[in-house]
Structure 1
Amino acid sequence: MTQVRTRFAPSPTGFIHLGNIRSALYPWAFARATGGEFILRIEDTDLERSSQAAVDVIIEGMAWLGLDHDEGPFYQMQRMDRYKAVLADMLEAGHVYPCYMSMAELDALRERQMAAKEKPRYDGTWRPEPGKSLPPVPAGVQPVLRFKNPQGGVVAWEDKVKGLIEIRNDELDDLVIARPDGTPTYNFCVVVDDIDMSITHVIRGDDHVNNTPRQINIFRALGKEPPVYAHLPTVLNELGEKMSKRNGAKPVTQFRDEGYLPEAMVNYLARLGWSHGDDEIFSRQQFLEWFNLDHLGRSAAQFDETKLRWVNAQHLKAMDDEALAALVSTQLLRNGITADERLPHICGLFKDRCDTTVALAHWAAAFYADITPNAEERTQHVTDAVRPALADLAEKLVDCVWDKASIGAAIKEVLTAHGLKMPQLAMPVRVLVMGTAQTPSLDAVLALQKQQTVLQRLKNA
């Protein structure tokens, strides 16, 4: 069996978003699941709209998600000589011909066709045929090169998502495959790349379905069999529109900055168009063990940030505390806070109540930076009635062994001495020490705080 070779071929004309990256996830997963190879190709022939910044986000976003490529990135603009050599061969073989029809003539032709209720298309004026005499070549006009599309019959392929697709050749006109300045066009470059890179499976968005019959005909003109195609349904945004930069889609790297985990993102994205029974939460390893092209969904998937946050929270809870601390440390550094060896324990204590590393860093900041207690909670809980007990607790903690058990014992003594229930003392202590009344177990929180910090904050009662 031929080795599987897949590719992701984005155009760097805007920052890559989740809808785009899902089109990278499936070919990557298929290559990894089958022991194949995954190739990264940058389709940068749109010089006006392509930017290096967009290329950087593609590479950075894929690296963050762990979508490693085996070859590339290849850049189409660096392959122009190869395309032109193939064009020259096709011209010689009679698969391509020069067309001198001007844009004005083409527009007039389309207008006549539309007025006659016909599909607007190039009419083959310059297509050479046996016994046909072509118009005289106009002076000073640089021609485009058109591909001689087969006439009659159908182009058919068994799409791994959509099933059998058939298009009549008579629906397709002769495609422009090189512009007047000689630069080749998208549909042609893609075919040459896929041949040169021995691509076996093309897994891409269904906005490319209309390009596929044209590409298949070019493959066959070049004496090659086309790859297997799988056209993925669109990813919709939360309003049910196609996800795009215009509709406010965020760059993939923004999710990293907002505290999402790469493992959670891969888990969530995998489910936007593929499923394994009812499994909602799974590891990258499980995904690769399960993934195949037979369970790709046919209907559009809708992005839901609430669901993404839930998936992220599940992965956060399951994550090793040391590994989590490394990510939280990065978030803290952004706010000018340097953590210490307590951070993994802090992450372990607070991760159950957080859905992002940003939320976790917010809790962790209270252990490393000054806090301002919530004014409403302070008024509610830090009352004159409880201040004597707070002073007593502060006194007991001065000479306390600084561990959870000893702190817990000191709290119990104060409760007994003042006839209080745990919430009556715990709430004001939490407000003063952590800034809020809702935290995990008080003895565990205080044990992770520095003793001097706790004493100083209790004095502010």
Structure 2
Amino acid sequence: MPATPASRPVRTRFAPSPTGYLHIGGARTALFSWAYARRHGGAFILRIEDTDVARSTPAALQAILDGMRWLGLAHDEGPFYQMQRMERYKDVIRQMLAAGTAYPCYMAAEELDRLREEQRARGEKPRYDGRWRPEAGKILPPPPEGVQPVVRFRNPTTGVVAWDDLVKGRIEIGNAELDDFIIARADGTPTYNFCVVVDDWDMGITHVIRGDDHVNNTPRQINVLQALGAEVPLYAHLSMILGDDGTKLSKRHGAVSVMQYFDDGYLPEAVINYLARLGWSHGDAEVFSRQQFVEWFDLDHITPSAAQFNTEKLNWLNAQYLKKADDAFLAAEVANRLARREVDPETGVSLEAVVALYKDRVANLNELADAVELFVAEVHPAPEVIGQHLTEPARAALASLRRRLAEVAWDKAALAQAIKDTMAEHSLKMPQVAIPLRVAVLGVAQTPAIDAVLEVLGRERVLARLDRHL
């Protein structure tokens, strides 16, 4: 029977292939594996499955590492690279050949293709027919000259392979449904399903938490583990994630990689919080810290049905985290984003003060940076905005206000009084003064309280901006 967390220290792994970026599904798998290890005081291992040399790229690998780092999913061991473990895999294959749990197969690829076509024509499941499998009393033909064999695993032909999936429940597959799959290609390179088994064995993995697209691989991997005399880990297969429209999440739904969420102005803690709720729940809790998630997380409350991504919900969560975030932290994040836009954030305006004005009004860091940019860069209202709001009566009122602002004490109370005095002088209502004032100093018609805006902008900048329109 598979060992349980009580009998073995928990060891989980995340094993991405560097053939593409770290996407949301992979990030959720990494998060659940990381959290389960943390919850049980175990180890979280990062393994890079880079045997697909043709499709693996340094850029994709870096994007995976960057995404893990940004999300704060620190690994305890690794990263281990499969391409650096080739000799270990080949050594295990040699042992299996010697033990008779694997055998060389000289069937050419073209011959296998013809076999499968014939099987389909007869309405049978296409599969390798075991013609090179050694059996008692079976006489094999002599190996053809000049042909390098593949190595196949000698799969049991009777009984079932079964496991109690920690998400999907009991799963049983008849061994008669499985053929003798290839564990090493003709050039000697081991195949994915074999490398995974040896890695999980060598690394002492106790819990394999992965996407349910791997369910079909699991019976094969369990059989190989048992043939090696290795302990079989517990498996938890996570359901797929659907997009907002109910179809399988893909590039067309938005973010190609986790780092796209960084580019789009999301906070990593908000993304972590959101990913945690994709297919897992703890009562009615919506907003919770990473530490709280680790304390709560278990595999019992993961739903076996598909989870649906909801961008609106993610935006709401991100806004909640922005509201609670430290102003100095947000100011530093905004300064970095402005610098990437080639906007100098060091202009004398307190970024923390601007952030404090706006962080309750935005959904992401880019929107916050847009707001801060109006304070630190030159603003140029659109001609139609100027025409709509900076009318002659409005300009006359702003001219009066400008004279008051040149002398008034620079605090919200005094600034608010100056605006009220201007309203009274020109018999205008607040919007008739405040909106033209907003357009003149920030280029937009809507801002937080105008007295607070003026206080943060400072007297010199406010007067200079008013003068450009008067």
1:9-34: CA deviations, max 9, x gaps? Answer: 00111122112211111101111122
**2:393 aligns to what SS in structure 1?**
coil
Distance across 1 between alignment mates of 2:351 and 2:137: 83
Distance across 1 between alignment mates of 2:408 and 2:369: 28
1:195 match:
201
Alignment length (residue pairs): 461
1:52-91: CA deviations, max 9, x gaps? Answer: 1000000001100111111111110000011111111111
> Shift of the alpha carbon at 1:450?
2.8
Give the letter for the 2:126 counterpart: P
**1:294 aligns to what SS in structure 2?**
coil
> Shift of the alpha carbon at 1:278?
1.9
2:416 match:
408
1:283 match:
289
Give the letter for the 2:419 counterpart: I
Stretches of structure 1 that go unaligned for 5 or more consecutive residues are: none
Report if the CA contact (8 A) 1:281-1:311 is conserved: yes
> Shift of the alpha carbon at 1:344?
1.2
2:319 match:
313
Report if the CA contact (8 A) 1:155-1:217 is conserved: yes
1:125 match:
131
Distance across 2 between alignment mates of 1:396 and 1:92: 95
1:85-124 equivalent positions in 2, closer than 5 A: 85-124=91-130
- Corresponding residue to 1:234 among 233, 240, 244: 240
Distance across 2 between alignment mates of 1:272 and 1:203: 15
Report if the CA contact (8 A) 1:14-1:245 is conserved: no
Distance across 2 between alignment mates of 1:268 and 1:451: 42
The alignment's TM-score, normalised by the length of structure 2, stands at 0.95
Report if the CA contact (8 A) 1:243-1:249 is conserved: no
The alignment's TM-score, normalised by the length of structure 1, stands at 0.97
1:168 match:
174
**2:377 aligns to what SS in structure 1?**
coil
Distance across 1 between alignment mates of 2:443 and 2:394: 17
- Corresponding residue to 2:280 among 247, 264, 274: 274
> Shift of the alpha carbon at 1:249?
4.7
RMSD: 1.4
> Shift of the alpha carbon at 1:178?
0.2
**2:93 aligns to what SS in structure 1?**
helix
1:422 match:
430
Give the letter for the 1:422 counterpart: M
> Shift of the alpha carbon at 1:318?
1.5
1:207-356 equivalent positions in 2, closer than 5 A: 207-245=213-251, 249-340=255-346, 342-356=350-364
> Shift of the alpha carbon at 1:147?
0.4
1:373-392 equivalent positions in 2, closer than 5 A: 373-392=381-400
1:88-134: CA deviations, max 9, x gaps? Answer: 11111111100001011111111111111111111110111111111
Report if the CA contact (8 A) 2:344-2:377 is conserved: no
Report if the CA contact (8 A) 1:374-1:431 is conserved: no
> Shift of the alpha carbon at 1:257?
0.9
* Overall identity of the aligned pairs, in %: 61
**2:152 aligns to what SS in structure 1?**
strand
1:345-402: CA deviations, max 9, x gaps? Answer: 1111101110010000000001110111243332222221222221111111112222
Give the letter for the 1:68 counterpart: A
**1:385 aligns to what SS in structure 2?**
helix
User: Which of structure 1's runs of 4+ aligned residues deviate more than 4 A?
Assistant: 245-249
> Shift of the alpha carbon at 1:247?
6.9
Q: 1:110 to 1:286 in 2, by over 3 A?
A: same
2:367 match:
359
Report if the CA contact (8 A) 1:177-1:187 is conserved: yes
